[in-house]
A and B are shown apart, each in its own frame.
Chain A
Amino acid sequence: MGMFDYEFMQRAFWAGGMIAVIAPLLGVYLVLRRQVLMADTLSHVSLAGVAIGAVLGFNPSIGGFIVALLGALIIERLRRNFRGYGEVSVAVIMTGGLALALVLMSMSSSLTRSFSSYLFGSIVAVSSTQLWIIGTVFALVIIYWVTMRRPLYNLTFDEETAQIGGTHVRWLSQTFAVLTGMTVAAAMPIVGVLLVSALMALPAALALRFAKGFTSALVIAVAIGLIGMFGGLTTSYYVNTPPGATVALLLLTFLLVGMGIQRIYYRLNRNKNDGYAPDIDSRRFWQRQNRSEQNSKVKTQVLNKR
């Protein structure tokens, strides 16, 4: 196989593989918490960071990284202030980030060329520094997920009950946002700013349609992410198309085909199963009553003390 003779392709596969595991993993939680646009916003914001880095003369990747982290924290903060319609925070930050990026970009003309690699992603753009960044983020996300998966489930299901149950909702929510920011910043050089959210949202969207339970949703999302990533990278190598766009189109095709198959499957199976849901009879409560002894009747007198 000629593809892996090139070191940059090996790096691309390593980097892509790691991103294709963590991005869909976080994506499932983001979709369920209605925060999926956060990934998109952060990628735009981190573009501003890349521009800042380039203008001020330090590593653009690190600039993008730091700004994505800050952006994540600010979004989280604003989301709490606009309770009930947290999307507002996304719109605010997205506008700010993109506007700043464009203004800074106009200041230095040399930036414009390398910018297209950040916008659309490029396999060649994965330097060994970036590979290290991605590796670190990958390790952090995996460790975080392994330790925090129980509270994360509770948080995702319902913030209020999680809080009462003793979960540090605020802390968890913030750290989660920070890790999302890291992942977005790490994924940028591969899939490009414009398609980062595709890698988070599309596998999750498909997984949520098929999965029976939560664990299976996570597994399916990661599997789809990996297949899409490796398939997309290979295609992009042989057909010479931009990698980010190829991966995203492949994922989109999976989503559409998956939805089509599911629809046909449901239609074919409709006759066999008339859709009757066995409603367990409500007398179950009574059984318990009968089982427990009845001798301890509480005589209750209710007085109206006004």
Chain B
Amino acid sequence: MPLLEAKGMGVDFGGLRALSDFEIAIEPNELVGLIGPNGAGKTTAFNLLTGVYAPTEGVILLEGKNIAGKKPYRINNMGIARTFQNIRLFKGLSVIENVKTACHAHMSYGILSGIMRLPKYWREEAAIHKEALELLSVFDMADLADVNAGNLPYGKQRQLEIARALATRPKLLLLDEPAAGMNPSETQLLMDTIQLIRERFGIAILLIEHDMKLVMGICQRMVVLDYGMIIASGKPEEIKNNPRVIEAYLGE
């Protein structure tokens, strides 16, 4: 059974058909690329998968359970985490607080034990402090734990956003153009990090990226969108030579 399966997923915004008949199946620990020109509907697909919008038709199955139309935080609790195209960090908080905030759902002490600081509070807080530091050290950011997230350099902010998404302990991670605005060497570093995450945490990753050449290198499978429709899907080599993909990217 695939980890995530979307069948016939589509959405209308008023009269505008933003996405139609979107089909995807992601196996556990698979790295899938979602590409397409500007305005093709890639981020819309992400927003549907994570519950920001409810699809007007179709089903989304996460481990066999339909999650279409559920609230974003419920979907996150069920195992899908995401990052955003325009970075959305908690800029006023320190790096480690950003990560700890995302640990919220797998802590269980109640409001009263929080206020009265019962033993459970200390135990769980100590545990997530350790967990957050470990997660940051994967990204070589443990020494930046107390820095204000808004003061981090751009590349580090992107990495912190990924770390925060991982802190929710997802089974599937959705990365929305993580390389946007990065220079070639930063991009290469990021791609290495993505590979590392997949191996180390054993999770599946769905990656949106503009740069075809880049995703070709790391993705096992790709889905190409144009004008809200899937125009091709398959292995990178197949995609590279697909005439419809070439047309969408280069024009006739």
Q: Do A and B bind each other?
A: no
Residues of B within 8 A of A (CB): none
